[in-house]
Amino acid sequence: MKRLFPTLCSRARTSLGSRARTSLGSRARTLGLASVLALSALVAAPLAIAQGTVRPEVGKPLQQAGELLRAGKAKEALAKVREAEAVAGITAAERQTIDGMKAAAAQRAGDMATAIQALEAMAGRASGAQLGTYAEQIASAYAQQRNNAKATEWLQKAVAAGNNSPAVRQLQQYLQSTSGDYAAIARDAAAAVAAAEGAGRRPDEGELLRLADAQQKTGATAGYVNTLEKLLLNYPKKDYWSAFLGRLPRKSGFSPRYELDVMRLRLATGTLTKTEEFMEMAQLALQAGLPFEAKRIVEQGYKAGALGTGPEAARHQRLRDLADKQAAEAPANLPRQAAEAAAEKEGDGLVKVGYAMVSAGDVDKGLALIQQGIAKGALKRPDEARLRLGMAQMQSPRTRAQAAQTLRSVKGSDGAADIARLWTIAPQ
């Protein structure tokens, strides 16, 4: 995103990357031990005592530790756990209960090393699904210590034990993002997106953001643009519009003929805001023989405060006067242009005049001319003609329902199909 709309594109690019990293970071912060361990530890001691598997001299300080944890006094709770641990002749059942409470209290107290030591002891006595749960918790604890190598090691043990929970996948994503292994991130995110699409589901926005960010980091430009489009089609947010429309004119094979179309989409999506952009768009509309559209663009620029102020205000007014003058002359010129186009062998002229009439507000007559031009055939650019037909159909309540079908029929690789596809999701 280095040309055309550099400021907007740079802002959108930064936003996409930060959205991906924020999404991963917020998920990682939810992977702490407290919610899982505290609940299990708070009920472990009373349950063990009730079942007679923990002696009272061990169970009493553990119960007190649980009460202190509920009161938010983690350091005091950890001290009570150590008191229970100091009792002579600790049994296997008592050791399990002690370690569970120790891990919870230590984590709450910020003593992650002690929490990990207790968890690893529990994992050493576990197997199957229980081992998978402990391994996930240990991986999370190491991740909080920024020890990604150990976190990854224990995460692999969790997966090997059959733990493929959403929390495990989220932690995998977080570790990949902090390791800088963007090739792995792209591979895993692409697989998740493909799986959702294959199942007929909308891909997760976070997965698409991860994929876009990783593709950008690895220089996979074509894949990045494709992912941007998926983000836009599934989650048509302003940032995604800005990023994709900034990239679109530089897509391979994209024709400069559609520069005005790109700006139309930017105007419709609120991503065209600068004075020079309103000026350029109005001038392009005048060059295309669309003075009524140019007039509307100028008026929107004035209404937005982008035109009519500053040292260039007189220049803005001259453009306004020119648009007003050509718009006033158009009603007398359009019938003559339509007659000349009807006499031509090709239908392109009728399509052009018809769209100018639509732009002038005479939608039904303009639509009829566009359809006549398409029916005449011998079109130089038939896909562009269908694009104009679909855009014209959007302007009339009578034909609006047909517009999406027409736009979806636009093919080709010169940009017409891209513009048509975007109009099916753009704000109307």
The CATH number linked to 317 is 1.25.40
Assign 3-class secondary structure to the chain: CCCCCHHHHHHHHHHHHHHHHHHHHHHHHCCCCHHHHHHHHHHHHHHHHHCCCCCHHHHHHHHHHHHHHHCCCHHHHHHHHHHHHCCCCCCHHHHHHHHHHHHHHHHHHCCHHHHHHHHHHHHHCCCHHHHHHHHHHHHHHHHHCCCHHHHHHHHHHHHHCCCCCHHHHHHHHHHHHHHCCHHHHHHHHHHHHHHHHHCCCCCCHHHHHHHHHHHHHHCCHHHHHHHHHHHHHHCCCHHHHHHHHHHHHHCCCCCHHHHHHHHHHHHHCCCCCCHHHHHHHHHHHHHCCCHHHHHHHHHHHHHHCCCCCCCCHHHHHHHHHHHHHHHHHHHHHHHHHHHHHHCCCCCHHHHHHHHHHHHHCCHHHHHHHHHHHHHHCCCCCHHHHHHHHHHHHCCCCCCHHHHHHHHHCCCCCCCHHHHHHHHCCCCC
For residue 74, being part of any structural domain is answered with yes
Which residue in this structure is represented by tokens 């803005």? Answer: 316
pLDDT of residue 176: 76
Does residue 262 sit in the same domain as residue 400? yes
Written as tens digits, the pLDDT of the chain (428 aa) is 333 223 323 334 445 555 554 444 444 444 444 444 544 554 455 555 556 678 999 999 999 999 999 999 999 999 999 999 999 999 999 999 999 999 999 988 989 999 999 999 999 999 999 999 999 999 988 888 889 889 889 999 999 999 988 888 888 878 877 777 889 889 989 999 999 999 999 999 989 999 999 999 899 988 998 999 999 999 999 999 999 999 899 988 999 999 999 999 999 999 999 999 999 999 999 999 999 999 999 999 999 999 999 999 999 999 999 999 999 999 999 999 999 999 999 999 999 999 999 999 999 999 999 999 999 988 999 999 999 999 999 999 999 999 999 999 999 899 999 999 999 999 87
Kindly tell me the burial class for residue 128, based on how many C-beta atoms sit within 10 Å of its own C-beta (0-12, 13-18, 19 or more).
exposed
Q: Is 178 a domain residue?
A: no
Domain count, the chain: 2
Residue 224 lies in a domain: no
236 within domain boundaries = no
Report if pTM > 0.75.
no
122 domain-assigned: yes
Q: Assess whether 299 and 412 both reside in one domain.
A: yes
Answer whether residue 45 is part of any domain: yes
Say if 222 falls within a structural domain.
Answer: no
Domain endpoint, select from 102, 130, 152: 152
Domain that holds residue 400: 257-423
- Among 123, 152, 181, residue at a domain's last position: 152
Task: Let me know whether 414 and 267 are in one domain.
Answer: yes
Give CA–CA dist 4/242, Å, rounded.
Answer: 12
Both 284 and 398 in one domain: the answer is yes
Last residue of a domain, one of 152, 181, 213: 152
In a domain, 218, yes or no: no
